[in-house]
Amino acid sequence: MNKIVYIVDDDPAICDSLSLLMSAVGMQTQTFPEADSFLSAIEPEQAGCLILDVRLPGMDGLELQQELQQRQIDIPILIITGHADVPMAVRAMRAGAIDFIEKPFDAELLILRIQECLLLSQQTRSGQQKNERLALLTKRERQVFELLVDGKLNKVIAHELGISIRTVEGHRANLMEKLQVKSLSELVRIALS
């Protein structure tokens, strides 16, 4: 799934220049002139980041940030503004913004921060997918998983759980399919993450 840089700014020139800058470095963008159109378009499972102006018509950027939290949409946010003050920056950062950047901004710094946000977004989505797959395991498959990760052999697992080795092998095959892994080392990586 491609990562998207969402840009919410009521200044068309800023949206155009940011889109041009992002496309020059191979990033996909979507622009929105206000918060409501962004909220209508965002797909919560989509990896990406949000470049958000503070001053917007209707719902302002900080209110949009709160709305995203209430909707449990976890997207890294970079706040940009031409009208910054310390209380505003503190409020944005406390609400989880990754950075607070004043206009005019340094293009190289902005690209670097966006790349960091996109990496963070991808890691978050990857962790959520692993958790979703782990939730698919039955109680017994989860027990087998934990014992496998502890380095125990099938026969030891069978003895500890009071089941046959064939049953352990069946649970092991099922859990590996559900977790979409092919080796014990991949299982261990999932357990460690």
User: For position 110, what pLDDT does the model report?
Assistant: 85
Contact criterion met (CB below 8 Å) for 176 and 187 = yes
Q: How far apart, in Å, are the Cα atoms of 162 and each of 142, 143, 155, 157? A: 15, 12, 10, 8
User: For position 43, what pLDDT does the model report?
Assistant: 83
**Cα(189)–Cα(85) distance, integer angstroms:** 44
Q: Using one digit for the tens of pLDDT, what is the confidence trace for 3-44?
A: 889 999 999 999 999 999 989 888 899 999 999 999 999 887
Q: Using one digit for the tens of pLDDT, what is the confidence trace for 80-97?
A: 887 767 777 778 877 778
Contact criterion met (CB below 8 Å) for 90 and 82 = no
How does DSSP assign 132-166, residue by residue?
HHHHTS-HHHHHHHHHHHTT--HHHHHHHHT--HH
pTM for the whole structure: 0.62
Domains belonging to the chain, first-starting first, are 4-127 (3.40.50.2300), 136-192 (1.10.10.10)
User: What residues are paired with 49 via a beta bridge?
Assistant: 5
Q: Which two tokens stand for residue 44?
A: 């919560």
**Residue among 175, 65, 185, 74 at smallest CA distance from 123:** 74
Secondary structure letter of residue 33 according to DSSP: S
**Cα(192)–Cα(39) distance, integer angstroms:** 35
Q: Using one digit for the tens of pLDDT, what is the confidence trace for 130-168?
A: 777 788 888 999 899 889 888 889 999 999 999 999 999
Sheet of 77-81, strands arranged across: 28-32, 4-8, 48-53, 77-81, 99-102
Contact criterion met (CB below 8 Å) for 115 and 123 = no
**Residue among 38, 48, 42 at smallest CA distance from 76:** 48
